[in-house]
Chain A
Amino acid sequence: MSEKVLMKGNEALGEAAIQAGCRHFFGYPITPQTELSAYLSKKMPKVGGTFLQAESEIAAINMVLGAAGSGVRAMTSSSSPGISLKSEGVSYIAGSDVPAVIINVQRGGPGLGSIQPSQADYWQATKALGHGDFQLLVFAPSTVQEMADFVALAFDTAEKYRMPAMILSDGMLGQMMEPVVFPDATEVHEGDKSWAASGHRNKRKHNVVNSLYIEAKDLEEKVKERYERYEIVKANEQRSESYLCDDADIIIVAFGASSRVSRSAVNAARAKGIKAGLFRPITLWPYPVDALDKTVATAKKYLVVEMNMGQMVDDVKLAVNGRKPVEFFGRTGGIIPTPAEVLAQIEALV
């Protein structure tokens, strides 16, 4: 009965959030994620939810800390410069073991950069979205459908492991319209919330949501406990898609918007008789090293295509570990590479 509807990626994120049971959204305007806030400002009041335009990105992420820390599904969204502002809050959220979802509809950087699509926040998202030892789950959609599908997945996974999750999108996916199908009812797997600061109702000891451990050994113990959890995440949550990789001589590795361009280039290469394939990481953390590792036996070469100056290429090199050459092609500043450009790179390498 679910029908295909046309939606912008940003709107799909908003609708999916509502369907995933998120009733608390805190945002701040920034291009190119504006349609998400606009959509939720319209819809949230109709489902009894909260849409709040905060005074800053910093305030918005801390409102998420408060709402999620008190046990509800809460989300915020921004684009690159705004995500930098949120990094403090994300660190506290991670340090307090609070599950929450953060959307980054990436644009060019550094600084004010451009407002065109970019993937230059890969390092920020996967290595260091804030100070201290921590990780967040990072999901990289490549279609409007995945924009929708990954919201509930992000909430469920975040709650399962009590950690923040990011959907790392970009201006192209946010602004484009594509058909999308929403399930009749989104299955929601809500995690345990017995830790939340929601008021003890005189029924239990008081809960404290906190990231401060003044004794160094207490902090080390806490961080190590968290990293043990990360190992479970790494074992269970890697996601990727392989397209024509089985017999491929050259495998393109690309995520999000650049994976779509690369898929077109792979098809064009195949039409020319070149055995090309596409490996598309869906989770950027945990990085899908296991699936990538399986391709090393047959692939002769890798070409990493990104909309930045070369960030994910490091993770590919770590996974391939010198066994096969890993090359890089990127455009940056807000430019989307064309399939023809990628095809030319493939042709130059085989």
Chain B
Amino acid sequence: MADTMNVLLAGFGGQGILFTGKVMVYGALTEGKELSWLPSYGPEMRGGTCNCSVVISDEAIGSPLVTNPDVLIAMNRPSLEKFMGSVVPGGTILVDSSTVDIKVERTDVTVYYVPATNLADKNGLKGLANIILLGKLFKEKQFISRESLDKGLAKCIPAKKAEMLEFNKKALEIGMEQ
């Protein structure tokens, strides 16, 4: 991977945008990387669009606010429309094609369309479309080791919901198969 990966995750509140970002940074933490996680906050948290900037780097991080992402994960149409133009040339866009019915018109970026919400529902993993997309990102970018990613996941699931870990791991696997 590059020295620094700027990721923007965006969707509706409740789709697990912030959680996905946390899994990434907790995974990176176990490898001693520099990282930052910055949520959008405010009225948009309450049911509107939600986004999260994640930076993983080998060097000290300047701005934690990602305005030109290397990777955009878009889980709804407004997010894709709003942010697809800001992705750096050569960058990557992951789209949940079950919830987004438009295509990226740019030719200078790599786009992966993953029907993540449908895949989640079909496999009894309702609400884990975010982790399926994370699995796909991991497959394409390998930004940390698989072991670290699993550790990140385990760290983000509270003890009270331990049974969710297996479902999340399954979602990750499904994403990696896409």
Contact = CB atoms under 8 A, between A and B. Distances in A.
A31 B62 contact: no
Contact of A32 (B26, B29, B34, B41): B41
B25 A177 contact: yes
Residue in B26, B39, B63 with the greatest tally of chain A CB atoms within 10 Å = B63
Given A6-B37, A171-B41, A179 B29 contact: yes
Contact of B39 (A31, A175, A339): A175
A338 B67 CA distance: 7
A264 B37 contact: no
A284 interface: no
Contacts, number: 63
Contact of A31 (B29, B36, B41, B64): B41
Contacts of B25: 6, 177
B38 interface: yes
Nearest to A178: B36
A254 B40 CA distance: 23
A311 to B, nearest CB: 21
A339 B25 CA distance: 22
B64 A172 contact: yes
A263 B41 contact: no
A260 B25 CA distance: 19
A32 B42 CA distance: 8
Interface in B21-46: 22, 25-26, 29, 32, 34-39, 41-42
B63 A175 contact: no
Nearest to A342: B63
Interface string A326-337: 000000000010
A264 B64 CA distance: 10
A14 B31 CA distance: 26
Contact of B38 (A4, A115, A172, A338): A172
B125 interface: no
Interface residues of A, number: 24
Interface string A249-276: 0000000000011111101000000000
A345 interface: no
Contact of B29 (A4, A172, A336): A4
B87 to A, nearest CB: 14
Contacts of B26: 6
Nearest to B32: A4
A62 B36 CA distance: 36
Given A4-B29, A31-B42, A177 B37 contact: yes
B98 interface: no
Interface in B49-66: 60-65
Contacts of B35: 6, 178-179
Contacts of B63: 260-261, 264, 336, 338-339
Interface in A221-268: 260-265, 267
Nearest to B65: A336
B68 interface: yes
A340 B6 CA distance: 14
Nearest to B155: A6
Given A6-B26, A338-B67, A177 B36 contact: yes
Contacts of A339: 62-63
Interface in A2-16: 4, 6
Interface in A166-199: 171-172, 175-179
A300 to B, nearest CB: 23
Contacts of A56: none
- Give the 5 A-B residue pairs with the shortest CB-CB distance, closest first: A264-B62, A177-B37, A176-B38, A261-B63, A263-B62
Given A176-B38, A178-B36, A338-B67, 5 more contacts: A6-B37, A172-B65, A175-B41, A339-B62, A339-B63
11 contacts: A6-B22, A31-B41, A172-B64, A172-B65, A175-B39, A177-B38, A178-B35, A261-B63, A264-B63, A338-B67, A339-B62
